[in-house]
């Protein structure tokens, strides 16, 4: 078994002491040991600031955009290596495409935006000169420039490539180096991509660093010129954002955490309309892509009371056809969760929902003794969503969604917003007025509204 090394202060380094293991999601085989104990986080930050930051700041926005494009092309040429590692995480080829080529596509997108819309300079005048006096002798203009610190990216396990690259692109375009701390469960894939970037020689020394294992005391060494981004569980994120040094120095902290996303069926839709079939396909796709391990996956299915049984029957029929197993086998449509710990967590959350009054329509129970971290597609039903707060607050991060009835369109909107702020919401309707009203009222609690 190999140890997964970190890339800090310009060198590959292995920690010492207690290790965590990364297991193959399908076979359960132990693949990697991971620890960062004993590594000097203060020195790693200082190296990034002294080497990477000045080099990136000296580049114009156009040069940084060109760097992003070059890195994207290089990673695309090596994608098959990443697909091979991604299979260890339980992902199908289609799942891995979203993570690997979707992430690389993000680099291309930011490269294009930078080359088209940003100046060939290190300063970005954001607007025109604003007169502040009658005679025009006093005026102001907003100008954007780079911070002198480092961006610390603490990432989730579900998108080890895309999750890193979507943060790296604006960080580098903004002229800052990054220290990446991937989730341990899939860190081998992130490490492979970072190694490819480092070996390419396409980015300045110190522009990218990687911590495989715990971030240790890194946050204690940050100051007001640094930034932190976090993607993961709400509990961990809340703990980190109140870390004493983060609070004392007002260090910018951006968090993306649990999200009870919904898919709403408009009250105008009947089972014989194409929108009904579209709704069923969308829910099943969102439940099963990456085995439901997506921040934007549908967790709450909100439908008119009269259509609960029709929707339930249609979903069960489609979900029963989903072949779960080793993605290397032909015909498999859904792979495993990332590891046994995640499978146990999903089972615990399902049990919480059942204890709160939800009912099982399909699935609901994993074989916790099996080597592979498989969890069956699971459809729950909540008959009283207004009296069941757990259904709007408990996210089972797997192929699990809960069906619930709405008395009318206004009630459906209230249920959609009961998630307390969601990354994504989807409405399926053929009525433009229903769509308009949903957007007007639901947008304030959703990061993205999709109308189908």
DSSP reduced 3-state for 44: helix
295 is catalytic: yes
Q: Answer with the one of 198, 233, 256 that is the final residue of a domain.
A: 256
Same domain for 347 and 443, yes or no, is yes
Q: Is 67 exposed, middle or buried (0-12, 13-18, 19+ CB in 10 A)?
A: buried
- In this structure, are strands 227-231 and 151-154 parallel, antiparallel, or unpaired? parallel
Residues listed for the chain:
452
Same domain for 385 and 312, yes or no, is yes
256 is catalytic: yes
DSSP reduced 3-state for 405: strand
Same domain for 248 and 279, yes or no, is no
Phi, psi dihedral angles at 90 (to 5 degrees): 90, 5
Beta bridge partners of 139: 131
The count of C-alpha atoms lying within 13 angstroms of the C-alpha of 7, restricted to the half-sphere facing its C-beta, is 24
The secondary structure of 265-298 as a DSSP string is E-TT--TTSHHHHHHHHHHHHHHHGGGG--TT-E
Same domain for 249 and 282, yes or no, is no
Same domain for 234 and 267, yes or no, is no
Same domain for 144 and 292, yes or no, is no
Q: What is the 3-state secondary structure (H, E, C) of 85-120?
A: HHHHHCCCHHHHHHHHHHHHHHHHHHHHHHHHHCCC
Residues with Cβ within 8 Å of 18's Cβ and at least 6 positions away in sequence, in order, are 35, 37
Contact indicator for 150, 49 with CB cutoff of 8 Å: yes
Same domain for 266 and 168, yes or no, is no
- Would you state the structure tokens that stand for residue 183, as one six-digit string? 């989730």
- Would you state the structure tokens that stand for residue 100, as one six-digit string? 């690997």
Same domain for 249 and 309, yes or no, is no
d(CA 423, CA 261): 7
Say what the alpha-carbon torsion angle 438, 444, 446, 451 is, to the nearest 10 degrees: 30
Percent of the chain with pLDDT over 90: 88
Same domain for 115 and 176, yes or no, is yes
DSSP reduced 3-state for 451: strand
Question: How confident is the model at residue 233, as a pLDDT?
Answer: 86
DSSP reduced 3-state for 217: coil
The residues of the chain scoring below 50 in pLDDT are none
d(CA 275, CA 266): 9
d(CA 227, CA 187): 22
Q: Which of 133, 125, 75, 128 has the alpha carbon at shortest distance from 105?
A: 75
Q: Answer with the one of 206, 239, 256 that is the final residue of a domain.
A: 256
Range of the domain at 221: 2-256
Q: Which of 161, 212, 295, 358 is catalytic?
A: 295
Distances (CA, A) of 24 to 27, 90, 227, 371, 449: 6, 8, 33, 9, 36
Query: What is the DSSP secondary structure assignment for residue 346, as one 8-state letter?
Result: H
Contact indicator for 436, 412 with CB cutoff of 8 Å: no
Q: Answer with the one of 200, 224, 256 that is the final residue of a domain.
A: 256
**What pLDDT, in 10s, does the model give residues 275-301?**
999 999 999 999 999 999 998 999 999
Same domain for 212 and 272, yes or no, is no
Centroid of chain to Cα 167: 10
CATH number at residue 101: 3.40.605.10
- Would you state the structure tokens that stand for residue 119, as one six-digit string? 């100046």
Same domain for 58 and 31, yes or no, is yes
Same domain for 275 and 361, yes or no, is yes
**What pLDDT, in 10s, does the model give residues 94-123?**
999 999 999 999 999 999 999 999 999 999
Q: Which of 63, 205, 256, 359 is catalytic?
A: 256
- Would you state the structure tokens that stand for residue 300, as one six-digit string? 């709450």
- In this structure, are strands 359-362 and 378-381 parallel, antiparallel, or unpaired? antiparallel
Structural domains of the chain, count:
2
CATH number at residue 306: 3.40.309.10
d(CA 227, CA 238): 16
DSSP reduced 3-state for 168: helix
Question: How confident is the model at residue 368, as a pLDDT?
Answer: 81
Contact indicator for 138, 132 with CB cutoff of 8 Å: yes
DSSP reduced 3-state for 3: strand
């Amino acid at each position: 078994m190999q140890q997964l090394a970190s890339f800090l202060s310009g060198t590959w380094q292995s920690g010492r002491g207690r290790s965590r293991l990364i297991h193959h999601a399908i076979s359960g085989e132990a693949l990697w040991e991971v620890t960062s104990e004993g590594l000097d986080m203060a020195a790693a930050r200082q190296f990034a600031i002294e080497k990477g930051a000045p080099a990136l700041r000296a580049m114009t926005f156009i040069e940084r955009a060109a760097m992003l494009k070059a890195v994207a092309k290089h990673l695309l040429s090596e994608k098959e290596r990443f697909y091979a590692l991604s299979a260890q995480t339980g992902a199908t080829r289609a799942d891995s495409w979203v993570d690997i080529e979707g992430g690389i596509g993000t680099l291309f997108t930011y490269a294009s935006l930078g080359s088209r819309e940003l100046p060939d300079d290190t300063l970005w005048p954001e607007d025109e000169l604003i007169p502040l006096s009658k005679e025009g002798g006093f005026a102001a203009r907003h100008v954007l420039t780079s911070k002198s610190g480092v961006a610390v990216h603490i990432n989730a396990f579900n998108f080890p490539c895309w999750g890193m690259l979507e943060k790296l692109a604006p960080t580098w375009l903004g002229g800052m180096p990054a220290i990446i701390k991937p989730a341990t469960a899939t860190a081998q894939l992130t490490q492979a991509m970072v190694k490819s970037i480092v070996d390419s020689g396409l980015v300045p020394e110190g522009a990218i660093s990687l911590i495989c294992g715990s971030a240790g005391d890194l946050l204690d060494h940050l100051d007001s010129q640094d930034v932190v981004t976090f993607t993961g569980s709400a509990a961990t994120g809340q703990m980190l954002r109140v870390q004493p040094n983060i609070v004392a120095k007002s260090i910018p902290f951006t968090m993306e955490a649990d999200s009870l996303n919904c898919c709403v069926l408009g009250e105008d839709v009947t089972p014989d309309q194409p929108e009904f079939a579209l709704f069923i396909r969308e829910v099943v796709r969102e439940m099963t892509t990456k085995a439901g391990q997506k921040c934007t996956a549908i967790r709450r299915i909100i439908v008119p009371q009269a259509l609960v049984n029709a929707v339930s029957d249609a979903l069960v029929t489609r979900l029963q056809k989903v072949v779960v197993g080793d993605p290397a086998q032909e015909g498999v449509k859904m792979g495993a969760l990332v590891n046994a710990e995640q499978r146990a967590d999903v089972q615990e959350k399902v049990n919480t929902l059942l204890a709160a009054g939800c009912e099982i329509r399909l699935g609901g129970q994993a074989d916790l003794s099996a080597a592979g971290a498989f969890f069956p597609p699971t459809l729950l039903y909540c008959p009283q969503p207004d009296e069941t707060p757990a259904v709007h607050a408990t996210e089972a991060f797997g192929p699990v969604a809960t069906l619930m009835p709405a008395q009318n369109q206004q009630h459906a909107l209230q249920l959609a917003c009961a998630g307390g702020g969601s990354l994504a919401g989807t409405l399926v309707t053929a009525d433009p007025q229903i769509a308009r009203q949903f957007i007007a009222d639901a947008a304030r609690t959703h990061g993205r509204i999709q109308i189908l």
